Structure 1
Amino acid sequence: MKIYRVGGAVRDEMLGLPVKDVDWVVVGATPDDMIAQGYKPVGKDFPVFLHPKTHEEYALARTERKSGHGYKGFQVYAAPDVSLEEDLLRRDLTINAMAQDEDGNIVDPFNGAADVKARVLRHVSDAFVEDPVRVLRLARFAARFNFEVAPETMALMRQMVSTGEVDHLVPERVWQEVAKGLMEDTPSRMFNILRECGALARVMPEIDALFGVPQPEKHHPEIDTGVHVMMVVDYAASQQLPLPTRFAALCHDLGKARTPQELLPAHHGHEGKGVPLVEKFCERIRAPAECRDLAIMVCRDHTNVHRALELRAATVLELFGRCDGLRKPDRFAAMLDACTADARGRLGLEGTPYPQAEYLRALLGAARAVDAGAIAGATEDKAQIPQRVATARTEAITEAMRVLREQEQFRRENH
């Protein structure tokens, strides 16, 4: 029985990155051998065990044979006669198909170390085409490491698109990989790789439809809507914003897409196609409610936020009401972060001032400072309470606007 550290831990150590999760492969053992040594079995599809002290995962060496479509369409064989090289052969990329023995020696039968040095993502074998999740994983690794894709691997990915293998991706796995990719340093790399191989049009057609849509050069020097959205997402990543904000940045311009009618809900009402497209997109990829709700808000109201300095107090209060900002100021702040990313995710405008964000934060603070309970207590006709509270908040916003204008005028005069 031999134990090897495998996969991402070996790769990340070579790259000089922190090693977060460690996976182990056990060669020459049976499940009974593992249980006898105190390991706890947890695997459903194949034998995986938790170490009795560290609780890290130890998997028996195994092979996989394609038996159907999708990432679950495999028959697994795990037995003492499966070699380490056979186990590594089933892995997706050469940089993930390395192992390290207990003495620290590297086992690298597929030249993964050379590809780490060359910064290349390359498939281990043609079995890569059997699991469509690997297309998403590769694109995510490209976003994480900023590696190039080997031409022969890109050709295999295009083959997986043309044969329909990527059409068998289940929504939950799509969301898992998209969410992870959005949290990388350069999320645009993931979407650009998927677009290059043709998978973006199949997996996320709403995003793919943004590319090639022109915008006025006056406000968008980059012109192409898809290019702009990628810049917005990358800016959000550069600010280390959380996942819901990055996802909202991805979705904010869906209404501009040249979108096939079949992607729209049957009834999309007066809001235009942006919001219903976001709703349907989120439903299809199983985006969690927190991400969906913020994405809808940003898609619907980001242009109003951009125009904040021109809005009347009553209109600002309506904006707060639509976005539930009075009850959920943190979510409204996240919306402002996404709008800031939209304003700065433009060619040559990365450092442009965006006073709208602080302006709206100040106005929201003034509106929230109104004591609605006191107003309710002093109002005999309870039917009048909502209007009186709204009036008081509008007046508070108006006064805050006046103070902010005076402060800005003083700043200009003294600088």
Structure 2
Amino acid sequence: MTNFQTYLVGGAVRDRLLGLPVQDRDWVVVGASPQQLLDAGYQPVGKDFPVFLHPGTHEEVALARTERKTAAGYHGFAFHAAPDVTLEQDLARRDLTLNAMAEDAAGRLIDPYGGQRDIAARVLRHVSPAFAEDPVRILRLARFAARFADFTVAPETLALMRGMVAAGEVDALVPERVWQELSRGLMERRPSRMLAVLREAGALQRLLPEVEALFGVPQPEAHHPEIDTGVHLLMVLDQCAAQATPLAVRYACLCHDLGKGTTRPEELPRHIGHEGRSERLARQVSARWKVPTDCRELAELVAREHTHVHQSGAFGPEARLRLLERCDAWRRPQRFAELLWACECDARGRLGLEDRAYPQRARLLADLAATRQVDLAAASAAALARGARGPDVGRAVRAARLQALRSFTGTA
């Protein structure tokens, strides 16, 4: 016979109160030892603290626990799980009040730290001073700000975050954890809010100084009515969310203008050559946070080529063919399509131009389709029959693609 109690906790309770679909359900068991759960048929998983699979539902169930800071950074914690740990103690170690609620088996809400009140007031607030012990919580809060865009950060929570940054806690974060939170934040409804909150806390300067450097940097008003390069970046990221782009496109947009933060003052507001600088800085950011290959490669491509894509409407067939070649478009058509999608978000992430058409995307996709119709084997065979060898065969194939572009656009 069991005498422990099980509670639904965290995000499932929060999302129900917000009227949102519940994606995952987390459970906490109070009043049990690991052996009691084993005896009841629960299957153990995990190593850091006691987690089990429910014998019926196979959902994860964790023993109520407390935690104690033992060293700097994300891993510097010791956990204590025992039958005498109360539900309130378990909830107290959580990050935000809206995540520190529970429901019992009868569906009654248990809210010792005011989560329901803060949801009603649309406030992100830390549960206790223990928030400052885990620097990942700065990133998590910024991610929640991107998800719940109408929530503000409580002033005392923002002050606590600034103190954590000043104490060097953010500098102890491991790359994998930073990328996990940044990537999830980029995929939220309003990714600009993540950057804005990190910036308010002083964490953006520590994590992404290349992005921080964009704020306050002017651009030509004729192309950028919003003028400020940092503001433009925020608008581009929100365009990505509005168009439901994948992560690689959003990360590429995050990095596309990094070089503008290094433009010499005497060259402002123009940013000649920023594309090459952006490509190098994108590579630097990707290496720092161990960004996956697909995101890294697209970011470098978008940084290097986005201006050419914007200008491609004035290109003739030869220039458009060179663009396709530089982008390796025939071997990587999906990546090329994502490049164009990122460029459209860039073009529309500008004040008053959010609904502007972007014909370059459709035009270049049509160019790629036209050149993919070329029979490469036939073009190669014809060149060989004429006595061509080595590089001359490649030039013949290129000529066939160029002719296809000329025919497609009606250019002699």
- Residue 126 of structure 1 corresponds to which residue in structure 2? 129
Alpha-carbon distance between aligned partners in 2 of 1:388 and 1:189, rounded to the nearest angstrom: 51
Do structure 1's residue 229 and structure 2's residue 218 form an aligned pair?
no
- Residue 388 of structure 1 corresponds to which residue in structure 2? 396
Alpha-carbon distance between aligned partners in 1 of 2:408 and 2:56, rounded to the nearest angstrom: 59
Question: In the TM superposition, what whole-angstrom CA distance separates every residue of 1:39-60 from its partner, at most 9, and x where no partner exists?
Answer: 2111211001112332211000
Alpha-carbon distance between aligned partners in 1 of 2:49 and 2:78, rounded to the nearest angstrom: 10
Alpha-carbon distance between aligned partners in 2 of 1:378 and 1:278, rounded to the nearest angstrom: 43
- Residue 368 of structure 1 corresponds to which residue in structure 2? 372
Q: CA RMSD in A?
A: 1.6
**Distance verdict in 2 for CA 1:333–1:271, change over 3 Å:** closer
On the 8 A contact 1:137/1:177 being kept in 2, the answer is yes
On the 8 A contact 1:372/1:389 being kept in 2, the answer is yes
- What is the correspondence of 1:286-297 to structure 2 with a 5 Å cutoff? 286-297=290-301
Question: In the TM superposition, what whole-angstrom CA distance separates every residue of 1:262-284 from its partner, at most 9, and x where no partner exists?
Answer: xxxxxxx9973211110010110
Do structure 1's residue 398 and structure 2's residue 401 form an aligned pair?
no
Greater CA deviation, 374-383 or 9-18? 374-383
Which residue, 136, 143, 151 being the options, matches 1:140?
A: 143
Alpha-carbon distance between aligned partners in 2 of 1:193 and 1:234, rounded to the nearest angstrom: 15
On the 8 A contact 2:32/2:82 being kept in 1, the answer is yes
Alpha-carbon distance between aligned partners in 1 of 2:58 and 2:300, rounded to the nearest angstrom: 40
- Number of aligned pairs? 396
Superposed displacement of residue 176, structure 1? 0.4
- What is the correspondence of 1:44-83 to structure 2 with a 5 Å cutoff? 44-83=47-86
Match of 1:123, SS state, is coil
- Residue 412 of structure 1 corresponds to which residue in structure 2? none
Do structure 1's residue 108 and structure 2's residue 108 form an aligned pair?
no
Superposed displacement of residue 259, structure 1? 8.0
With normalisation by structure 1, the TM-score equals: 0.93
- What is the correspondence of 1:10-409 to structure 2 with a 5 Å cutoff? 10-146=13-149, 147-258=151-262, 272-380=276-384, 381-383=388-390, 384-402=392-410
Q: Which letter does structure 2 place at the counterpart of 1:51? A: H
On the 8 A contact 2:14/2:101 being kept in 1, the answer is yes
On the 8 A contact 1:11/1:98 being kept in 2, the answer is yes
Alpha-carbon distance between aligned partners in 2 of 1:363 and 1:18, rounded to the nearest angstrom: 42
Superposed displacement of residue 354, structure 1? 1.0
- Residue 265 of structure 1 corresponds to which residue in structure 2? none
Q: Which letter does structure 2 place at the counterpart of 1:39? A: Y
Alpha-carbon distance between aligned partners in 2 of 1:104 and 1:374, rounded to the nearest angstrom: 70
Alpha-carbon distance between aligned partners in 2 of 1:191 and 1:16, rounded to the nearest angstrom: 26
Report % sequence identity.
59
Question: In the TM superposition, what whole-angstrom CA distance separates every residue of 1:171-229 from its partner, at most 9, and x where no partner exists?
Answer: 11110011100111100000000001100000111111111111001110100001001
Q: Which letter does structure 1 place at the counterpart of 2:293? A: A
- Residue 6 of structure 1 corresponds to which residue in structure 2? 9
- Residue 269 of structure 2 corresponds to which residue in structure 1? none
Alpha-carbon distance between aligned partners in 2 of 1:333 and 1:179, rounded to the nearest angstrom: 21
Runs of 4+, deviation exceeding 3 Å: 269-272
Alpha-carbon distance between aligned partners in 2 of 1:27 and 1:302, rounded to the nearest angstrom: 55
**Distance verdict in 2 for CA 1:218–1:271, change over 3 Å:** closer
On the 8 A contact 2:218/2:229 being kept in 1, the answer is yes
Q: Which letter does structure 1 place at the counterpart of 2:41? A: G
Q: Which letter does structure 2 place at the counterpart of 1:129? A: A
